[in-house]
Amino acid sequence: MSFPPNDVIAVILAGGYGTRIKHLLDGVPKPMVSVAGKPFIEWVVRYLKTQGITKAVISTGYLGEVIEKYFHTQPVDGIQIICCRETKPLGTAGGFLNAVHLSGKSPHAWLVVNGDSLVFANLALLSHHLSGNKTSGVILGLSVSDTSRYGSLVCNQLGELEKFAEKRPGSGIISAGVYLLRNSLMKEFPNTLPLSFENEVFPLLISQNFSLQVAITDAPFLDIGTPESLPQAESFILDNHQQFTW
């Protein structure tokens, strides 16, 4: 990344209930489902390590003690992990803010990722976009052939996010759920809970003329949050094994 690694801390959002696949999880939180011999969230951590991240905060919630115990007893060499739990559902942005405040850290920027999805994009792509003073945050956009499950991102000619479009069939750019945000941007978030990035934070920032760049990639991506996508996780990890460090 173009920032020194210590200037970027990752926050991994892992507090959800996993409602759609709860019957497949055998009593563990969704990010802890076993994939290719490890919890899925460990693959997320190991990928962050390859991208130069040395510190990560895991925002836990439902069954958070399972995640906390795992990384306490089986740390990943080369990346410092702390867990910060939300005591009630705070939403994606609310969970992020809770983790930021509890961590006591103040890096140049925060990298937000999900504990139940993984995209093999070069994160330097995001930091390059954030290098200009005008840009307050960067959203990783995925170029896909069908946006119907996710909705799509609408950008202006400068590559800045204008709005989130409703779900509809056809090709387009979707959010990968990966954001690189300046630490100074935290004070601009709404003071409401629960709080969503896509429904509340980003629309408010856009309305206040903050520049949110969209960095577009077609890198391999998987979200394990549905009964259809979860069985794809094993082959996804094994097919991309070269992406991880040991």
Closest CA to 81 of 102, 59, 107, 56: 56
Write the secondary structure of 145-171 as one string of H (helix), E (strand) and C (coil). Answer: CCCCCCCEEEECCCCEEEEEECCCCCC
Query: How many Å from the N-terminal Cα to the C-terminal Cα in the chain?
Result: 20
Beta bridge partners of 33: none
Q: Please state the pTM of the whole predicted model.
A: 0.95
Phi, psi dihedrals of residue 12, rounded to the nearest 5°: -100, 115
62-66, 79-83, 111-115, 147-151: least confidently modelled range: 147-151
Residue 41, C-beta contacts closer than 8 angstroms, at least 6 positions apart: 12, 14, 31, 32, 58, 67, 115, 116
* Tens of pLDDT, residues 29-40: 999 999 999 999
- Mean pLDDT to the nearest integer, 76-99: 96
Architecture of the domain whose range is 5-243: Alpha-Beta Complex (3.90)
- Radius of gyration for the chain, computed over Cα atoms and rounded to the nearest angstrom: 17
Q: Does residue 158 contact residue 131 with C-beta atoms inside 8 Å?
A: no
Matching residue, tokens 């390590």: 49
Sign of CA pseudo-dihedral 114, 240, 126, 166: negative
- Mean pLDDT to the nearest integer, 54-58: 97
Q: Does residue 224 contact residue 32 with C-beta atoms inside 8 Å?
A: no
Burial of 108 (0-12, 13-18, 19+ CB in 10 A): middle
Q: Please, what's the b/e burial string for 142-157 (b: 16 or more CB within 10 A of its CB; e: otherwise)?
A: bebeebeebbbbebee
24 against 116, higher pLDDT: 116
Q: What is the pLDDT of residue 210?
A: 96
Q: Please, what's the b/e burial string for 33-57 (b: 16 or more CB within 10 A of its CB; e: otherwise)?
A: bebeebbbbbbbbbbbbebbbebbb
79 against 27, higher pLDDT: 79
Closest CA to 89 of 62, 114, 64, 112: 62
27 against 38, higher pLDDT: 38
Residue 47 has pLDDT above 60, yes or no: yes
- Mean pLDDT to the nearest integer, 107-133: 92
* Tens of pLDDT, residues 201-237: 999 999 999 999 999 999 999 999 999 999 999 999 9
Report H helices in 52-161: 64-73, 91-103, 124-130
22-31, 98-107, 236-245: least confidently modelled range: 22-31
Q: Does residue 133 contact residue 208 with C-beta atoms inside 8 Å?
A: no
Sign of CA pseudo-dihedral 148, 176, 59, 110: negative
* Cis before 194 (ω within 30): yes
| Percent of the chain with pLDDT strictly greater than 90 | 82
User: Dmax of the chain from CA atoms?
Assistant: 49
* Tens of pLDDT, residues 148-167: 888 899 999 999 999 998 88
